[in-house]
Every structure is written in C-alpha cells, then in structure tokens.
Copies of this chain bind each other. A is one copy, B any other.
Amino acid sequence: MSENKFKKLFLDNSARVHTHVKSGRVSVGACEVKLSPTYQEGRKVRDNGSVVIYDCAGPWADANFHFDPSKGLPQIRCDWISERGDTIESGVAAASDKHPFGGRKILKAKAGCRPTQMYYAKRGVITPEMEYVALRENIAALNCVENKMSAEAPRSSLFIEHKGEPFGARIPRNITPEFVRAEVAAGRAIIPANINHAELEPMVIGRNFLVKINTNIGNSALASSIPEEVEKMLWAVKWGSDTLMDLSTGRDISSTREWILRNCPVPVGTVPLYQALERVGGAPEELTWEIFRDVLIEQAEQGVDYFTIHAAVLRKFLPAAADRMTGIVSRGGSIMAKWMLSHGEENFLYAHWDEICDIMASYDVAFSIGDGLRPGSCADANDVPQLGELQVQGDLCRRAWAHDVQVMCEGPGHVPMQMIRHNMDCQLDWCSEAPFYTLGPVVTDIAAGYDHISSAIGAAMIAWYGTAMLCYVTPKEHLGLPNKDDVREGVVTYKLAAHAADLAKGHPAAQFRDNAMSRARFEFRWIDQFNLSLDPEKARAFRSEHSGGADAESCAHFCSMCGPKFCSMRISSQIKDTLKANPDMQKME
C-alpha cells in the first residue's frame, strides 16, 4: 500500500496544523487555509489572514505520518484512560493471519467502575476528551482571535424554537470544556470513545454543537475486500466524515473491523446483530441472547465506539408494520421481527436491556438505539409503528442514562418535507433531548440514482430542527453498493447539509467560513475559493476545465457564465469604487 494512496492531499496554501490552548492538556489537528492578500490595480491593499477548518482525517493528513495501515495510528488516549484508574487489562488480542494487530492489550472496567464520559460528566469531572472536543468545536472562535476579528454574528430572521426557547440561543459563542461536560451530563450530547479505541480523536455529537455526519462502509456477501474497506474508511475521513459505521455482513467481519479500528481517527459504530446472525448461519430464529452478548463483548474489546441496537422493535408494533406500504425496511428491524414471530416472545434485546447497559458501561460504548421500524416510503412516514418505536426509544434512553451509558437515537428514513418537523419535535420530547441521528430522510421516493440529494434536503432540514448527526446516503442507495466515487459524493453532500444546518442554527462557527468564501469570490481569489470549498479538488478541476486547463489565477478577473465583458461582480466592484470616489452620489435620493 503506497504512501500516495492514503495521504490526504492539500492544495496550495492549505495544510494540517495543530492547535492547542495555554495550560490545556490537549492539542487538536485541523486544516489551516492561508488566504491570499487582496489586490487592487496590482497593489496589495489587505492581508486576509487564515481560516482554520475542522478536520476529520487525523494523522493521515499530517505531512510526516508513516501512511502504513499495517502500523496503525498512534494511541493518543492511552494516558488519559490509564490516569483515570478505572480500568484493568482483561487480556490481549489474539494473533491472526488476516491482520497484524495481535497482542494488543484489552481494557475493561475495574469491578464497580463505569469508565464512561457520562459517569465523569455527571460527577463534575472534565476529562481530556471533553477538553479536546471543546477546543475542536471552537476552531471558528480561534479563527476570530487569531485574525483579530470579532466573531461574525449569524444573521437569522427565524430561529427554530423548542419549548418556547429559540434554538440557536443555547450555542455559546465560545464553547468551553465546562459547557461540553454539562451537555454530556444532561444526555444532550455524547462523546463516543471506547476505552479500547485509544487511536480516536474525540468528537462530540449533540445539537448544541456542529452537526456531524456518518459514513457507512462494510463489505457484503456479494462484494468487496479488506483493503477496499480500509481504503473507503480513509477516503471517508479525508472528505470529512465525523464517524464511520462498519456494516459488514460478508466474510472476515472481525478482521475487517480490526484493520479499520486500528487506523480510524474517528468513532466507529457497528450493528452487532449482523455478526450475531452470521454466527447462526443467517437464520434469525436461531439467535439467542448468549450469542448476541458474546458478540457485543468481542466488539467492545476491539474498540467499537457505538452500537446500533434494535431494542425498541416490540411485538405489539408488528401487525401495524406488516400493513404498511413497504413493511419493515430496516435489516435489524426485520431480523428481530422474524425472531419474535418464530419464538412468540418479546424482543430479547428489550428483555436484556439492563444487562446490555452493563456491558456498554464497562467499555464506554455508546448506544445508537436503532429504528427498526423506520418508514421505507413517504406513505409510511410518522405512522403508528414508527412513532410507537420512538416512544420506546425514549424509555430505553432514560434507562441507559441510569447506568451512565451515553445514548443517541436513530431516525428515518423516508419522510416528506411537511412531516419532518413533527418527527423531530416528538424525538426531542419523548427521548428527553438525547441526540437524534437520522438516515437522511429522503423527501421523495422517486429519486433512485439521486437519493444523496433527495436525502440531503431532508437531512439539512431535520438538522436545522435539531438532529445532531446525519447518516450519509450515496447515489447508489436503493440500487447497489457505493464505490469510492459514491462515498466521496455522499460524504461531501452530507458535509454540505450539515453546514447549511449549522448556518441556519446560528452556530458561531458557520458564518465565518461562508463569509471568507464570499469575500474570496467577490475578489476573484480563486485559490482561496477552492480551499474554502467542501471539496477543493473538485472545485479546482471544474474551474480548470472552464479555463481550458490554464492556471486558475490567470483568468482571474471574470467568472463562470459571463465572460470578460459581462462579469457582474466586476461591474459591481466598479460601482463601489465610483461611489467611494464620489461621496455625493451616496445621497442620491
């Protein structure tokens, strides 16, 4: 595996930098874009400083990294975890001919301890993980400080309200470690950070922080290999995925996951039910609690940061679910439904919830409570099975919190625009403001081949209304498995939706980058426009195509559609100059 293949490349004038605060215990990697100065008639009239952008690529974006997946990432959290003194070594990872990571020490909670971020948050303790995410979320504030600018006020004429309080109002202009702690303690935010995933750069999921996105990867019975999945993981974090779900269902599930965890700088989630089902030859009725429990522990020991568990699919919802336009479309939901029908018993994940909570607490694995009854068509949106399950998710949230386990709730799916707000409001109410984590939703069923877009519409809206993390959807949704291009398209589309929501929520970070981009656009600073874009490489390629492969800067003073005579931005900057030169004209009636 060659260096070029895995290195995150930056265009000119941008690079990975490390940021820290005085007396802080942590240093956070980010992407710094150095802006070009502003020129007028060949004379430099202003320096524009730089913009520091939140980055997810971890050491893969460091110029001097080893770029060798067989060596894994540095374990930056080792000391933080051991200093808490609440864990013991429970064994070492077995050697394997499918990966080179045998011999790794496995941690678990000391008897009577709960080494979770929520445990410490509730007791008033600020962990290094909380410090890390506060600094990371605060990148935009640092932008302002370093550039000696005041924070740019978001311009909002309509904030979303929840229970009478304007939504954006809760987001502080300067995010402190204490604010992070309080949000985690209240259950409004989670920091998924398994004690066995010390390679992780901590991040926070909660609606009073930047909206996050997740990428699903994973092989299937039909396609894909370990190196392909590792490459997809690196590709996803390069483009900005905040977390990663490994949904493998095919061969080599465990080894694939080991490769991913040891190389992944962002939290990794799984659906343990898939591996459990694999163990019983794919027959849902053969599943038992014991088999499932063993899978949970095995994956927790590997370092998985959050588990999707479909514990809220109850028997009483099945008749109504079977009467829907598209029945049950979640894999986890259908597996559990089939198990319940075969056994005539209640969902065993629901029945064993407290035992599951104990396992989660022992490794600080966070819950992502599955929505096994999410609608598979707009016709089924917000129906009785979906909303019934959501209420049960709320009960399970509160029970998990009693065990100091961090929780988020999964949501749909397929929801037409006019029904999205109601879904979000129900989740906030019924799940006591636990973070919501939605799959889109797509806002129409007929967009096959374009479902990344159909779902980005719903995703941007529901994130504005309060969803904390968006699970990406690729153009291949409903049609096939995504390839690398699809993963990039899906990730960038979701970064877009998340950023649009941050802007609409009045997050202090969001307007800053948009304004830097707009100034660069107005002044024809093309390199800055590329670097400030969500996908600098694509922006540059499109521009270069337009200018016939010529250097972008050489065709600087007119833009796209217009040609040199017609450029409206140039004309309006001339107007501005005229008005400046003739102050009397300002008074023009």
Residue from B329, B446, B564, B572 within 8 A of A568 (CB atoms): B329
Q: How many residues of A contact B (CB 8 A)?
A: 128
Q: Are B568 and A319 in contact (CB under 8 A)?
A: no
Q: Are B546 and A479 in contact (CB under 8 A)?
A: yes
Q: Chain B: which residue is nearest A156 at the CB level? A: B418
Q: Are B377 and A515 in contact (CB under 8 A)?
A: yes
Q: Chain B: which residue is nearest A475 at the CB level? A: B542
Q: Are B453 and A337 in contact (CB under 8 A)?
A: no
A182 within 8 A of B: no
Q: Are B560 and A328 in contact (CB under 8 A)?
A: no
CA gap between A453 and B422 in the complex, in Å: 24
Distance (whole angstroms) from the CB of A529 to the closest CB of chain B? 6
Q: Chain B: which residue is nearest A510 at the CB level? A: B444
A118 within 8 A of B: no
Distance (whole angstroms) from the CB of A115 to the closest CB of chain B? 34
Residues of B within 8 A of A547 (CB): 480
A11 within 8 A of B: no
Distance (whole angstroms) from the CB of A300 to the closest CB of chain B? 23
A331 within 8 A of B: yes
Residues of B within 8 A of A481 (CB): 546, 560-561
Q: Chain B: which residue is nearest A480 at the CB level? A: B546
A468 within 8 A of B: no
Q: Are A334 and B572 in contact (CB under 8 A)?
A: yes
Q: Which of A252-268 contact B (CB under 8 A)?
A: none
CA gap between A315 and B382 in the complex, in Å: 51
Q: Chain B: which residue is nearest A497 at the CB level? A: B457
A586 within 8 A of B: yes
Residues of B within 8 A of A325 (CB): 515, 518-519, 522
Q: Are A588 and B539 in contact (CB under 8 A)?
A: no
Residues of B within 8 A of A151 (CB): none
- Residues 199-230 of A, flagged 1 when their CB comes within 8 A of B and 0 if not, give 00000000000000000000011100000000
CA gap between A222 and B545 in the complex, in Å: 13
With A249-B565, A449-B533, A452-B453 known, 12 other A-B pairs at CB within 8 A are A315-B588, A316-B588, A319-B588, A322-B575, A325-B519, A327-B575, A329-B568, A334-B571, A338-B571, A377-B515, A379-B515, A445-B515
24 contacts between A and B (CB under 8 A): A155-B419, A220-B566, A318-B575, A318-B579, A318-B585, A321-B572, A326-B522, A327-B522, A328-B571, A335-B568, A337-B575, A338-B574, A341-B578, A376-B569, A378-B511, A446-B499, A446-B514, A446-B532, A448-B535, A457-B461, A477-B560, A478-B559, A480-B542, A480-B547
